[in-house]
Amino acid sequence: MLTEKQFDLLLCLKKHKKKDFTQRELAAQTGMSLGSVNSELKALFEKGYVSDKDSYTVTKKGSTQLKPYKVDNAIIIAAGFSSRFVPLSYELPKGRLEVRGEVLIERQIKQLLEAGIKDIIIVLGYLKEEFYYLEDMFKEVTLLFNPDYASYNNISTLLEARKYIKNSLICSSDNYFVDNPFEQYVYKPYYSCVYQSGPTDEYVVTTGAHNRIEAVEVGGRDSYIMLGEVFWDKNFSDKFFKIVDEEWHLDETRQKLWEDLYIDYIDELDLYMKEADRESVWEFDSIDDVRDFDPHFVINADSKVFHNICKTLSCEPDDIKGFLPIKKGLTNNSFSFYVHGQRYVYRHPGIGSDLLIDRKREKQANKQAFALGIDPSFSAMSKKKGWKISRFEEDFRELDYKSFDDLDLLFETVFTYQSNPPKKLRRMSYMEEGDHLLKILRKRGRMEHENLQKLEKRAKKLYKKMQADDYEEVMCHHDLYAPNIFISNEDNTLTLIDWEYAGLDDPSSDFGSLITNGEYSLEEAQEILKRYYKITPEERPRDFAHYISAVGINAYFWFIWAVYKEMIGNPMGELQYYYYTMAKQYIALGRSLYKNLKE
């Protein structure tokens, strides 16, 4: 086995095999002292790894000694959504963005090829089709797909490439390297690190002997941080995946970055710091970061989102600042931004939302809500594409489900829009929309479970009883969820946003929506019915049965919706089970109440 200094000398001589070096020149090339070069060369001569002629040529035997250190391939991780890079990440994966005239991932592939790495595996996920052309552009590229990219973190992406990973460079598709950092031979596993002056929230490393990374913490100041490419040798790769095998059954592990799992086992997994120049390695966390690096980036981005904003707000791309993702939406993706000092929200339709939302119906309802002063934030919307721009409401708080003062404001709003539907507003029925989603799910082999079939059968029978009550249809919001309901801290006015599911329906639907989203107990639901609808089980038993049943039908729809969302890659966690149990409980209660009416 070679010492690190011997490796450095052999590699230097192999890379510059046509150049006649003096020992002093070798010292300058490798960063070693002249004395070390002299003693290590002597050892290499004695072992027959270098000829003893003045040219210092690497022998065949010496080349054989370098083989265990040869990089087998590069794995480029390109599966993630890059939420911090909105809005451009809605349209293109981050690795496909063009910076200083070059597509990020293409530049990185070319640098790998220049370094002699001829086997490049790219693992895809989000908008995978945007990378397919790379196989035609580069014969050295192999594409893989991680089906779990939306559910788990990047360990799942590495698992997809596991059979390829030996002596492997691990790269991120969105890194920009000013100078090519890649080598065809590497002595030991490393993580590229740069010195960061001032405070940082990145992974900060502490090193020990020979620059081995001994500890990693999130955040610090005036420290070396992890940034850039990584190299795993076969020993590291085998040990890492053995740990993954032991822990992969844990949901906690599946949600971790591979770096976090490495930190957990840092005493067992040897990685060394490879110091890089801070001005040579770039990782862009936001659009404003790229702007600092490439002033023409936004102009060259050719973004439809930017075009929509500029057309709506009569501005130029450079006027759009301060992008910030908003993570509370369950159907769509949203971000806030500033134009001329005013903050706005851009709503981008989520994957699969075209099967969930009637955008023409939504626009009708939103325009009416704006006209009634219920949603004054509304600015513009496309009924074809589904995007929407709204003014960001400052100094607001969300509805408190437990506050009757807040509920007083909410029901005043509800009764206002229910009494003033726009002309020719389309219907939106929870049961009909649920049936639509069920057909899609069943075509893909979902929902074929006996208990779910029983729930569906009972829901349809209950809904039929509700229809016989013959309520006049009114405009309903259908999604009375606290993050959609803002109350001004200044004047206590209420704003109701997100009208995607709005439409003509039975007025009990909004009551069902509120009870489901607010996770109210039956006693609390009864109190709300009595306070706002003057409905009690003693005085108005049929209306009581009707409105309680509406909770079950509402929860039933959102349960099917949650299954659909998971099918298209949006994990719902415990929410899906909550909707299921709520639907089962209230459908059973509704059936019992209607049965008692007959008796």
pLDDT digits (tens, 9 = 90+) for 269-328: 999 999 999 999 999 888 888 888 998 887 777 788 999 999 999 999 889 988 888 865
Give percent of the chain with pLDDT exceeding 70.
Answer: 96
d(CA 482, CA 518) in angstroms, rounded, equals: 8
| Beta strand segments in 442-542, E | 474-476, 485-488, 494-496, 503-505
Q: How confident is the model at residue 419 (pLDDT cuts 50, 70, 90)?
A: very high
pLDDT of the residue at 353: 60
Q: What is the pLDDT of residues 393-406, one digit of tens each?
A: 888 999 999 999 99
278, two tokens: 């801070």
pLDDT at position 238 over 70: yes
> Coil, strand or helix: which one is 359?
helix
Please tell me which residue, 212 or 151, carries the higher pLDDT value. Answer: 212
pLDDT of the residue at 327: 62
pLDDT of the residue at 332: 67
Does a cis peptide bond (omega within 30 degrees of 0) precede residue 147? no
pLDDT of the residue at 313: 94
d(CA 207, CA 357) in angstroms, rounded, equals: 53
pLDDT of the residue at 351: 63
pLDDT at position 567 over 60: yes
Least-confidence region, from 14-18, 53-57, 84-88, 292-296: 53-57
pLDDT at position 330 over 70: no
Instruction: Supply the mean pLDDT for the chain.
Output: 91
pLDDT of the residue at 49: 93
- Would you say the C-alpha torsion 82, 85, 87, 92 has a positive or negative sign? negative
Nearest to 251 by CA among 148, 105, 142, 98: 148
Question: How confident is the model over 474-496, as a mean pLDDT?
Answer: 94
Q: 568: exposed, middle or buried (C-beta count within 10 Å: 0-12, 13-18, 19+)?
A: middle
Instruction: Match 């959504």 to its residue by tokens.
Output: 81
Least-confidence region, from 89-98, 256-265, 479-488: 89-98
pLDDT of the residue at 272: 97
**Domains of the chain listed by start with CATH number:** 4-66 (1.10.10.10), 73-283 (3.90.550.10), 402-598 (3.90.1200.10)
Which DSSP letter does residue 256 get? S
pLDDT of the residue at 356: 67
Nearest to 486 by CA among 402, 346, 376, 387: 376
pLDDT at position 329 over 60: no
Between the CA of residue 80 and those of 126, 127, 419, what are the distances in Å?
6, 9, 45
User: Would you give the distance in Å from CA 185 to the centre of its chain?
Assistant: 34
Query: What is the DSSP pairing of strand 272-275 with strand 190-207?
Result: parallel
3-state SS string over 124-184? ECCCHHHHCHHHHHCCCEEEEECCCCCCCCHHHHHHHCHHHCCCEEEEECCEEECCCCCCC
Q: How confident is the model at residue 229 (pLDDT cuts 50, 70, 90)?
A: very high
Q: What is the pLDDT of residues 184-214, one digit of tens each?
A: 999 999 999 999 999 999 999 999 999 999 9
pLDDT at position 548 over 90: yes
pLDDT at position 224 over 60: yes
598, two tokens: 């007959």
Long-range contacts of 467-473 (CB under 8 A, 24+ apart): 469/542, 469/546, 471/506, 471/507, 471/508, 471/546, 472/507, 473/427, 473/504, 473/505, 473/506, 473/507
pLDDT of the residue at 18: 65
Q: What is the pLDDT of residues 489-524, one digit of tens each?
A: 999 999 999 898 999 999 999 999 999 999 999 999
Q: Which amino acid is at 448?
A: E
- Note the pTM of the prediction, 2 decimals: 0.75
Q: What is the pLDDT of residues 112-150, one digit of tens each?
A: 999 999 999 999 998 999 999 999 999 999 999 999 888
Partners of 397 in beta bridges: 487
Contact 429, 557 (CB under 8 A): no
Q: How confident is the model at residue 368 (pLDDT cuts 50, 70, 90)?
A: very high
